[in-house]
């Protein structure tokens, strides 16, 4: 039996940047099951690459092909986490499950019980179920990172883009978060691209590394 790899992202001759290109000639694929760490010094274009794949920035050149559903297929954890501070932890996480429902499902009606269990399970896995009714703005930085992760896990996307989402977490919590994310990726046969500053950590959690050097993306295989 031939094992056909599921390509989730394909970048053809892509150049990313705002006014001038930060990274050029990117030709790369992301396969289901990949955990990719993007490494490089600050300001080199790692976040811009992630934002380009997320469809938030247009590529200066080339084409980004995403083989994931436009609604709910992509989970994005920005550097500042993108949580709604005034809303409760539960409301934030249920935003993740909501995109799995029809786009015509009214936003002011609570999500159905089945989808609610996805949120509960994600909160339980990440140890934040006891904070479910707290507004996000009162949580510590590390707790907020676990909420952002739970939101993406509950969403069950095909591709997760995470920008330095392990920052502010201690070693134990990095383990908990990464274990939960890995299990979710395995269960959904999805992939993850994460920007990371700590090379050692990146090598522990990723199976591929994209290093940005001299405006080029260089691939390293970890395992």
Partner 1 sequence: MNKRTALVGLGLLGLTFIVFIDLVGNWGRLSGGWTNLGIFFEESLWPPDWSVLEAQSYPVCDARFEFTCSVAWLGMVETIKIAFVATMIGFIVALPLSVLAASNLSPIEFAIPARILLAAMRSLPSIIWAVLFMIIFDMGTLAGICAMSFYTVGYLGKLQFESMEGIKNAPLEAAKAMGMTRTETAWLVAIPESANNLLSHLLFMFEYNVRHGTVIGLVGAGGIGLYINTYLKLAQYDKVVALLLVVFLVVVVIDFVSMALRSAVNEESDVDRPTWSSLFLPAAISSAMHPTPMKKEPSGESE
Residues in touch with partner 1 (CB under 8 A): 51, 54-56, 69-87, 91, 95-96, 98-99, 103, 107-108, 130-131, 134-135, 137-143, 155, 157, 161, 168-170, 173
| Closer residue to partner 1 (CB): 40 or 78 | 78
| Closer residue to partner 1 (CB): 85 or 218 | 85
Distances (CA, A) of 95 to 26, 68, 90, 124, 213: 32, 18, 9, 17, 36
Residue 75 CB contacts under 8 Å (≥ 6 apart), including other chains:
96, 151, 152, 155, 157, 159, 160, 161
User: Minimal distance in Å, beta carbon 217 to partner 1?
Assistant: 21
Concatenate the DSSP letters of all residues of 174-213 into one string. HHHHHHHHHHHHHHHT-EEEEE-S-HHHHHHH-SEEEEEE
User: Minimal distance in Å, beta carbon 77 to partner 1?
Assistant: 7
User: Minimal distance in Å, beta carbon 82 to partner 1?
Assistant: 3
List, in sequence order, every residue forming a beta bridge with 77; answer none if it has no partner. 162
Tokens 């996307």 correspond to what residue?
157
User: Minimal distance in Å, beta carbon 150 to partner 1?
Assistant: 13
| Closer residue to partner 1 (CB): 41 or 107 | 107
List, in sequence order, every residue forming a beta bridge with 26; answer none if it has no partner. 14
Give the H/E segment covering residue 17: strand 7-17
User: Minimal distance in Å, beta carbon 86 to partner 1?
Assistant: 5
Q: Dihedral through CA 101, CA 107, CA 111, CA 116, nearest 10?
A: 90
| Closer residue to partner 1 (CB): 79 or 207 | 79
User: Minimal distance in Å, beta carbon 72 to partner 1?
Assistant: 5
| Closer residue to partner 1 (CB): 59 or 72 | 72
| Closer residue to partner 1 (CB): 42 or 214 | 42
């Amino acid at each position: 039996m031939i094992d056909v790899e599921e390509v989730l992202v394909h970048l053809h001759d892509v150049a990313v940047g705002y006014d001038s290109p930060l990274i050029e000639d990117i030709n790369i694929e992301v396969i289901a099951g990949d955990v990719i760490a993007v490494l490089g010094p600050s300001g080199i274009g790692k976040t811009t690459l992630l934002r380009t794949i997320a469809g938030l920035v247009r590529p200066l050149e080339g084409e980004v092909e995403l083989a994931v559903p436009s609604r709910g297929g992509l989970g994005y954890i920005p550097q500042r986490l993108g949580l709604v501070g005034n809303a409760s932890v539960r409301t934030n996480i249920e935003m993740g499950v909501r995109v799995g429902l029809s786009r015509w499902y009214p936003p002011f009606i609570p999500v159905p019980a089945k989808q609610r269990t996805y949120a509960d399970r994600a909160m339980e896995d990440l140890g934040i179920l006891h904070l479910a009714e707290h507004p996000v703005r009162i949580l510590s930085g590390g707790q907020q990172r676990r909420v952002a992760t739970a939101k993406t896990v509950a969403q069950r996307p095909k591709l997760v883009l995470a920008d330095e989402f392990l920052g502010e977490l201690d070693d134990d919590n990095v383990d908990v978060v990464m274990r939960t994310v890995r299990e979710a990726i395995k269960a959904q046969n999805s992939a993850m691209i994460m920007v990371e500053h700590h090379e050692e950590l990146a090598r522990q959690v990723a199976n591929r590394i994209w290093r940005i050097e001299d405006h080029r993306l260089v691939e390293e295989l970890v395992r």
